[in-house]
């Protein structure tokens, strides 16, 4: 199950690059299968010039309580193995970010010809 911290994030999620959607669906399946917990999308990165993630190609996911950081690191390793980012120095799911609370950041590279990073 995929939940959203804010209602508008569900609408934004519908605008995401399909590659991000598929990866998030796999992350959701892992969390549900292993810990029977839903994931919560806390942020969807916008298509604007202020965001380093243009073209709707990144999300933040809260780390479910039962899984904790150890579970998040397991999910991170699986996703990075299955979906390499393909650009040196970047990962599909980088190290856990801490900000307000620990979370996973999931991103995909730009499509060829967009001229963005």
In a domain, 102, yes or no: yes
- The CATH code of the domain that includes 14 is 3.30.1380.10
Question: Which residue in 4, 27, 17, 36 sits closest to 110, CA to CA?
Answer: 17
In a domain, 70, yes or no: yes
Query: Mean pLDDT throughout 4-30?
Result: 94
Question: Which residue in 105, 74, 83, 77 sits closest to 23, CA to CA?
Answer: 83
pLDDT digits (tens, 9 = 90+) for 30-75: 999 999 999 999 999 866 555 555 567 899 999 999 999 999 999 9
In a domain, 114, yes or no: no
Query: Mean pLDDT throughout 86-98?
Result: 90
pLDDT at 111 over 90: no
Q: Which two tokens stand for residue 1?
A: 């199950």
In a domain, 116, yes or no: no
Domain count, the chain: 1
Residue 32: its pLDDT value, please? 97
In a domain, 17, yes or no: yes
Domain extent, residue 35, equals 2-107
* Geometric angle at alpha carbon 20, from 14 and 24, rounded to 5°: 90
User: What are all long-range contacts of 46-53, with beta carbons under 8 Å and residues at least 24 apart?
Assistant: 46/12, 47/15, 52/117, 53/107
pLDDT at 102 over 90: no
In a domain, 45, yes or no: yes
Residue 71: its pLDDT value, please? 95
Residue 99: its pLDDT value, please? 73
């Amino acid at each position: 199950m995929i939940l959203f911290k804010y209602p508008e994030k569900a609408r934004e999620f519908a605008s995401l690059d399909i590659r991000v959607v598929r990866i998030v669906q796999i992350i959701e399946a892992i969390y549900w299968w292993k810990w029977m917990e839903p994931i919560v999308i806390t942020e969807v990165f916008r298509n604007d010039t202020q965001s380093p993630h243009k073209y709707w190609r990144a999300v933040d996911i809260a780390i479910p309580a039962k899984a904790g950081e150890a579970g998040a690191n397991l999910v991170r390793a699986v996703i990075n193995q299955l979906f390499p980012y393909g650009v040196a120095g970047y990962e599909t799911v980088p190290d856990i970010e801490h900000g307000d609370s620990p979370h996973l950041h999931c991103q995909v590279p730009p499509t060829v010809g967009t001229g963005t990073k």
